[in-house]
Chains A and B, each alone.
Chain A
């Protein structure tokens, strides 16, 4: 009888955990996901690969609720994501039951990251092949937060971040263009960042906005199209302003 308790994730002679690094490779092949934190709004935008004609697009939601005040988007293995999300949802309710308080964003992030770490140090299992972006408002203070976790089990808070395909270029864009925004501005920043690497159009992006009072709201395709059009117009105007010799650059 084979005994599956030998660890798969073991150290290499030079201190690497190759299974974890391979998992990060899987993440890098996953769809791009962007998260931006504003003062009163947090936005998640995820690349949507073209849906086959016969597929019901509503069954492939990429941005999901963990609780009324917490949402998650991820890049990587979608099946692993489903399992992790289910465990996180259960933990949110379990916490509410034992502590009589909703989870804080930091708590559930720590839980998910802890879960991912456990699978890098257990026998017979492989790490989860996904990185998550977790957004939410603190139930007590109302402060918005954006956290990221990765297959190694580390997590940290961000003002804006990207994961998945071409995340480096998106992050570069965000570093150049990030500023404290609120409401519609936050939404535009997130979509602009994602459009750096994704074909523009409402059918290629899934966007969700979270506010303290209204929770998570998934945007309709035509809403997204409208904002994309706005962004394109602004871009065109900026290009025109640059080219025009009479306007002075400030």
Chain B
């Protein structure tokens, strides 16, 4: 009767497992049944032959990881928080979608923006929404924007270095009034009044910072946000699609508009009909 060893070893290193170091007294009989060997052998696979496997792995992740190609912005003003974003998803030079929802509705009074990995942002915002609801149920009061952003920041910090890519803004209205926090996958968390995140953010900041006043009306603030997104999509190749604008007020958030940036371009810069100086005439070929 052959002794059958059940190997259910799970190892972190993905090397081919070498059982040479195991307890020599335990019988490691090589049976003549090869198929039995295969089934019983612990899972393993051959690694690419590189000198620096870790470096190779990092480079591979960098290649596939979507860059934070986006433009999102949010700012606090007299009437609450204005949140706006574009809707383009790109993978390097390829535009994978023009209609991505980058403003995530965490709950009826809090919004989150998406920049970085779409899956990461969507999942963790949804998870945050669950945590906020559980907090409400346990404590019979809504969670503050500070608390919600802190929960997310702590989660992202605990996954630091594991490849999450999240650059988000949490905007909401709580007992202290309008609140805006920037949270990223490095675990950073900043409180502020004006933020823009993504590859198009420098362009958005230019328009936003020069046009910002605290005492704007909702319409003025929405127009400022829309224009800032438009200008970012004009110059940044990784941003485009539709400029969505949301407003967070004392009773919750409301979507104000979603305009195609191409149409916005012609709205801001309408085409002037040019005077034709010379008409090109067909020259008959002799």
Residues of chain A touching chain B, judged by Cβ–Cβ distance below 8 Å, are: 98-101, 104, 106-107, 110, 140
| CB 8 Å contact bits of B140-155 with A (1 = contact, 0 = none) | 0101101100110010
Nearest Cβ in chain B — how far from A204, in angstroms?
39
Nearest Cβ in chain B — how far from A111, in angstroms?
11
Q: Tell me, yes or no, whether B279 is within 8 Å of chain A by CB.
A: no
Contacts of B139 in A (CB 8 A): 104, 106-107
Query: Which single residue of chain B is at the shortest CB-CB distance from A141?
Result: B141
Q: Tell me, yes or no, whether B12 is within 8 Å of chain A by CB.
A: no
Residues of chain B touching chain A, judged by Cβ–Cβ distance below 8 Å, are: 135, 138-139, 141, 143-144, 146-147, 150-151, 154, 175
**How long is the Cα–Cα vector from A202 to B147 in the complex, in angstroms?**
45
**How long is the Cα–Cα vector from A201 to B150 in the complex, in angstroms?**
50
Asked if B143 contacts A140 (CB within 8 A), the reply is no
Asked if B150 contacts A100 (CB within 8 A), the reply is yes
Contact among B138, B154, B175 with A98 in the assembled complex (CB-CB below 8 Å): B154
Asked if A100 contacts B144 (CB within 8 A), the reply is yes
Nearest Cβ in chain B — how far from A109, in angstroms?
12
Contacts of B175 in A (CB 8 A): 140
Asked if A101 contacts B144 (CB within 8 A), the reply is yes
Asked if A98 contacts B141 (CB within 8 A), the reply is no
**How long is the Cα–Cα vector from A104 to B138 in the complex, in angstroms?**
12
**How long is the Cα–Cα vector from A140 to B176 in the complex, in angstroms?**
11
Contacts of A98 in B (CB 8 A): 147, 150-151, 154
**How long is the Cα–Cα vector from A236 to B146 in the complex, in angstroms?**
57
Instruction: Pick 5 A–B contacts, CB within 8 A, sort by A.
Output: A99-B143, A99-B147, A100-B144, A101-B146, A101-B147
Nearest Cβ in chain B — how far from A240, in angstroms?
50
**How long is the Cα–Cα vector from A100 to B152 in the complex, in angstroms?**
13
Asked if B141 contacts A100 (CB within 8 A), the reply is no
Contacts of A99 in B (CB 8 A): 135, 143-144, 146-147, 150-151
Query: Which single residue of chain A is at the shortest CB-CB distance from B146?
Result: A100
Contact among B135, B138, B147 with A100 in the assembled complex (CB-CB below 8 Å): B147
Contacts of A107 in B (CB 8 A): 138-139
Nearest Cβ in chain A — how far from B138, in angstroms?
8
Given A99-B146, A99-B151, A106-B139, 7 other A-B residues pairs in contact with their CB atoms under 8 A:
A100-B146, A100-B150, A101-B146, A101-B147, A104-B139, A110-B138, A140-B141
**How long is the Cα–Cα vector from A100 to B145 in the complex, in angstroms?**
10
Query: Which single residue of chain B is at the shortest CB-CB distance from A97?
Result: B150
Nearest Cβ in chain B — how far from A99, in angstroms?
4
